[in-house]
Amino acid sequence: MQKKFLTNLGLLLFLNLLIKPFWILGIDREVYNVVGAADYGFYITIFNFSFLFNILLDFGITNFNNRNIAQHNYLLNKHFSSIVVLKIVLAAVYIIVTFIIGLIIGYDSTQLKFLGVLAFNQFLISFILYLRSNISGLLLFKTESFLSVLDRIIMIIICGVLLWGNVTKTSFQIEWFIYAQTAAYFLTALIALTIVIRKAAFRKLKWNWPFFVMIIKQSFPFAVLVLLMTFYNRIDSVLIERLLPDPQGEVQVGIYFSAYRLLDATNMIAFLFAVLLLPIFSKMIKLKENVEELVKLAFTILITFSVVVAVGSYFYSYELMDLLYIEHIDESAAVFQYLMSGFVAISITYVFGTLLTANGNLKALNIVAASGMLISFILNFLLIPKLHALGSAYASISAQFVTAIIQVFLVQKVFRFRINYRFLFTVLLFIVGVIAINFFSKEIKLDWEINFILMIIASLIFAFLLKLLNIKSFLSILKEE
């Protein structure tokens, strides 16, 4: 399984590193710069609001299905047609609830218009993720890798033409950005659906009420987990916009998301580990195989990557924000420093939280996620009025680190892994070393871009010297039969 993990991780990383950084740093960043912080902040607030009730679209079915199909492949033929009907029913419930809540909190006609399109986009995203869960559950990771970047490829083409193709008489509008997403998600969903129908021997849709009730009961713990995690990960921008007066609220949301954009980019890479690990862990646990070595392998790669990214972002925050944006540089840099620090905690969660999910420890995970949501809410309400976007960044990293640390202790309690003190000391030494490398790199009298590259190279060499990254070990795993 370690070989399967490494080989498919390599393909996933290659495709995503090829496509998604250009989407985020090229297209998405350019849209932000063209439309301005206020308009982009308006969009991202509505987007995150539409995301808050995303659980009603899925109800935990995707994670439940991924784990279930990985352990019992034959269930794809049995469940697929009925689950598609259930997803459509849940979509109707989601749209109704989202609009009702939008009206309650005072959204005007313009905001509701945007919300309608973004709500439909959320349905398409949820449907794509469900279809992909079937594909990854069958361990068809090459197909899953292609689908993971397909929507972004389509969006890059559409937005690239609109931004730089001189095909319009007016400057780029934020609503064009939303419509481009709709087109990309629709085409991706269509292609994914075609692939899954062939694998599922699909004939016709089935209305099966007893089955709906059974699936919802079984997926309910997954639904609660996703809901809680969504709230403490996505509530920030909504609270900033609601707690601060106009137009300050939308501007601060724009500043927050300008800093969040790079976290989102790196998070997409780390998330690929969870995409691979959930079905692999599920299969190994069902077969009663030892998961300790795979956990260590995944954690080592991710912690090395996340520490270099987080520490480098802290030291070079102003330079990176100045490179990407044309306004609010100082404020964005301050927020960016602390948001990126949370990437280490997020990476830990993608390994240990995924293992607990695969093992079915949903009750414990829900308690942890509820704690994270409570911390996030309390700190956001206390800090946003005083510190604006920066206060929300403090709230974010606090919730992330608390939940990550608790998950590590839970895994130790459930799986009884031996505590490798030498390995833990090596990780701690690596963190201290990367901080020192960054400190000295800032003192070099060269262009900051060169210093930044030298810092990354030196950090990776240090990781190899400490044997956190071990080429011989990777090669030996890849040679396994």
Percent of the chain with pLDDT over 70: 85
What is the mean pLDDT of the segment spanning 267-294? 80
Radius of gyration of the CA atoms of the chain, in A: 22
Averaged confidence pLDDT in the chain: 82
**Residue 416, Cβ neighbours under 10 Å: how many?**
9
What is the mean pLDDT of the segment spanning 440-455? 91
Phi-psi region of 166 (alpha: psi -120 to 50; beta: other; left: phi over 0): left
Task: Give the Cα-Cα-Cα angle 333, 312, 448 (nearest 5 degrees).
Answer: 80
Distance in angstroms (rounded) separating the CA atoms of residues 194 and 207: 21
Q: Is the pLDDT of residue 10 over 90?
A: no
Is 380 within 8 Å of 235 (Cβ atoms)? yes
Q: Is the pLDDT of residue 81 over 50?
A: yes
Residues 6+ apart with CB under 8 A from 410: 352, 356, 361, 364, 365, 368
Is 58 within 8 Å of 89 (Cβ atoms)? no
Distance in angstroms (rounded) separating the CA atoms of residues 422 and 270: 25
Q: What pLDDT shows up at residue 74?
A: 54
What is the mean pLDDT of the segment spanning 29-44? 81
Amino acid of residue 219: S
CA distances from 10 to 14, 15, 48, 134, 374 (A): 6, 9, 31, 21, 37
Q: What pLDDT shows up at residue 420?
A: 87
Percent of the chain with pLDDT over 90: 24
Q: Is the pLDDT of residue 86 over 90?
A: no
Q: What pLDDT shows up at residue 200?
A: 67
Q: Is the pLDDT of residue 88 over 70?
A: yes
Q: Tens digits of per-residue pLDDT, 417-435?
A: 888 889 999 999 999 999 9
Least confident of 105-109, 189-193, 461-465: 105-109
Q: What pLDDT shows up at residue 240?
A: 84
Q: Token match 């309390």: residue? A: 378
CA distances from 386 to 156, 300, 337, 373, 375 (A): 38, 38, 18, 20, 17
DSSP string covering 95-115 = HHHHHHHHHHTT--HHHHHHH
pLDDT band at 311 (very low <50, low <70, confident <90, very high): very high
pLDDT band at 310 (very low <50, low <70, confident <90, very high): very high
237 or 468, which is more confident: 468
Q: Is the pLDDT of residue 385 over 80?
A: yes
437 or 85, which is more confident: 437
Is 201 within 8 Å of 77 (Cβ atoms)? yes
Q: Is the pLDDT of residue 481 over 50?
A: no
Q: Kindly compute the dihedral angle of the four CA atoms of residues 181, 62, 98, 45, in this order, to the nearest 10 degrees.
A: -50
Distance in angstroms (rounded) separating the CA atoms of residues 421 and 462: 19
Q: Tens digits of per-residue pLDDT, 226-265?
A: 677 766 666 777 788 778 887 778 788 888 878 887 887 7
Is 46 within 8 Å of 117 (Cβ atoms)? no
What is the mean pLDDT of the segment spanning 404-424? 90
